[in-house]
């Protein structure tokens, strides 16, 4: 697996899981761009979704990881940018397909929905899996340019 810079952020609902996932990223040898939050104190998830989205769009990281309580709010935030394909993932197959079929560049977890071991597995699979071309390429292009 090639080594990348991975941007990661969470709100208070994702803070505990963010710590686990940062450990996983370090174990895998990736460079980490940690964009907060840094405690369990209540914050607003859109700020963190936008921070990772902007880091990718500015070329500061190649992929992103986002976590909030459910994973839903922070996905909605990140996906407001057409260049961002943030996939809320609950299992290994979803992690793989989010790359192969949807060319996801951000993986999202619900810190209150998934255990740390499964989330680590999903993250590793997401980072290891390449995108597939052909019909998937065409569909992803349509996501970038909504009509």
Rule CB under 6 A: which residues touch ligand RB5? 11, 13, 45, 68-70, 72-73
Residue closest to ligand RB5 (Cβ): 73
- Spot the catalytic one: 12, 30, 68, 103: 68
In the bound state with ligand RB5, the residue whose beta carbon lies nearer, of 47 and 132, is 47
In the bound state with ligand RB5, the residue whose beta carbon lies nearer, of 90 and 96, is 90
Measured from the CB of residue 143, what is the shortest distance to ligand RB5 in angstroms? 22
Measured from the CB of residue 69, what is the shortest distance to ligand RB5 in angstroms? 3
The angle, 0 to 180 degrees and rounded to 10, between the axes of the packed helices 15-27 and 116-128 is 50
Q: Give CA–CA dist 132/102, Å, rounded.
A: 9
In the bound state with ligand RB5, the residue whose beta carbon lies nearer, of 51 and 68, is 68
Q: Give CA–CA dist 66/27, Å, rounded.
A: 18
Please identify which residue in the block is written with the tokens 């390429």: 137
Measured from the CB of residue 110, what is the shortest distance to ligand RB5 in angstroms? 7
* Interior angle at CA 35, CA 81 and CA 39, nearest 5: 125
136 catalytic per annotation: no
Task: List Cβ neighbours of 104 (8 Å cut-off, separation of 6 or more).
Answer: 85, 86, 87, 98, 126
122 catalytic per annotation: no
**Residue positions annotated with a catalytic role:** 68, 101
């Amino acid at each position: 697996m090639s080594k990348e810079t991975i941007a990661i952020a969470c709100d208070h609902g994702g803070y505990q899981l963010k710590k686990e996932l940062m450990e996983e990223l370090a174990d895998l040898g990736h460079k980490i761009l940690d964009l907060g939050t840094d405690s369990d104190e209540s914050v607003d998830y859109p700020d963190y979704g936008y921070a990772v989205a902007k880091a990718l769009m500015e070329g500061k990281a190649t992929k992103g990881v986002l976590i909030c309580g459910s994973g839903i709010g922070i996905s909605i935030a990140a996906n407001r940018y057409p260049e961002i394909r943030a996939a809320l993932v609950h299992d290994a197959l979803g992690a793989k397909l989010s790359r192969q079929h949807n060319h996801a560049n951000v993986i999202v977890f619900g810190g209150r929905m998934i255990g740390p071991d499964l989330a680590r597995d999903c993250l590793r699979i997401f980072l290891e899996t390449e995108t597939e071309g052909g019909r998937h390429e065409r569909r992803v292009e349509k996501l970038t340019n909504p009509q």
